[in-house]
Amino acid sequence: MKVTFYGHACFGIEVAGKHLLFDPFISPNELAANVKIEEIPADYILISHAHFDHVADVEAIAKRTEATLISNYEIITYFGKKGLKGHPMNHGGSWKFDFGTVQYVNAVHTSSFEDGSYGGNPGGFVVSAEEGSFYFSGDTALTYDMKLISEDYSLKFAILCMGDNFTMGVKDAIKAANFVACDQIIGMHFDTFGYIKIDHEAAVKQFGTAGKNLNLLEIGQAIEI
């Protein structure tokens, strides 16, 4: 699977020839000024929750690509009123798409739109395909619920938030990696704002000490996993 980092919590992941785009927040992100949103491919846009730093570019990208949105019922309904097509889910539920199966899993966070509209409850995603399974945590605290993921999936990699303040920090992200039983970790939700700046070298070292490989990608960087 090819994983491209577009900054903050936004990733493009190719699964079974389809382009999955997670939590697009690019045009307001000064650190992602070199990313051209008009060139980002998307067959599906997966949205973890309604906060601005996860949905800012949903409308622009979905209108251009005609991507199908995948999120909770409230977020799909909100964007449905703007004419975007979507697939509504809720916590614990799975659905088989043409690229693989998606389960919408628990996250401990909040989820309101910038205009105050209700964004349902926040979640994360486990994507399970022929090439392997991966977990995208969304914004979340560390939670014991993550252990359930390791009971049902053998993850190839996990994308975990770790900027602290608004989500779990590095120390808890290492625990999360243990809970989901995964050694290949990609970090997200760090450095974008002053509150979530992290020491990259120290974070990689802490994960290493725990026997885990932490990848903090450069914005625009793509890797094959």
Residue whose entry in the numeric block shows the structure tokens 């977990």: 135
Instruction: List binders of Ni ion among 4-23 (CB under 5 A).
Output: none
- Return the ∠ at Cα 216 (arms to 218 and 2), rounded to 5°: 70
As measured in angstroms, the least distance from the Cβ of 200 to Mn ion is: 19
When asked if residue 14 is in the footprint of Mn ion (CB under 5 A), the reply is: no
CB-nearer residue toward Ni ion: 134 or 166: 166
As measured in angstroms, the least distance from the Cβ of 53 to Mn ion is: 4
For residues 169 and 203, the answer to whether their CB atoms sit within 8 Å is: no
CB-nearer residue toward Ni ion: 15 or 176: 176
The secondary structure element, H or E, covering residue 87 is: strand 86-89
Q: How is 53-72 classified by DSSP, letter by letter?
A: HHHTTHHHHHHHH-PEEEEE
- What mask, x for binding Ni ion by CB under 5 A, covers residues 33 to 72? ------------------x---------------------
When asked if residue 43 is in the footprint of Mn ion (CB under 5 A), the reply is: no
CB-nearer residue toward Ni ion: 14 or 53: 53
When asked if residue 23 is in the footprint of Mn ion (CB under 5 A), the reply is: no
Quote the CA–CA distance of 161 and 138 in Å, as a whole number: 7
Structure tokens given for 114: 């910038």
Quote the CA–CA distance of 140 and 156 in Å, as a whole number: 20
When asked if residue 139 is in the footprint of Ni ion (CB under 5 A), the reply is: yes
Which of 23, 43, 53, 172: binder of Mn ion (CB under 5 A)?
Answer: 53
Residue 20's nearest CA partner among 54, 56, 46, 49 is 46
Piece of the chain touching Ni ion by CB under 5 A; list 19-27, 89-97, 139-147, 183-191:
139-147
CB-nearer residue toward Ni ion: 12 or 123: 123
118 phi/psi in degrees, rounded to 5: -70, 130
Residue whose entry in the numeric block shows the structure tokens 């004419």: 83
CB-nearer residue toward Ni ion: 8 or 51: 51
Instruction: List binders of Mn ion among 122-161 (CB under 5 A).
Output: 139
For residues 82 and 70, the answer to whether their CB atoms sit within 8 Å is: no
CB-nearer residue toward Mn ion: 6 or 97: 6
For residues 140 and 165, the answer to whether their CB atoms sit within 8 Å is: no
- Interaction site with Ni ion (CB under 5 A): 51, 139
| Contact set with Mn ion (CB under 5 A) | 51, 53, 139
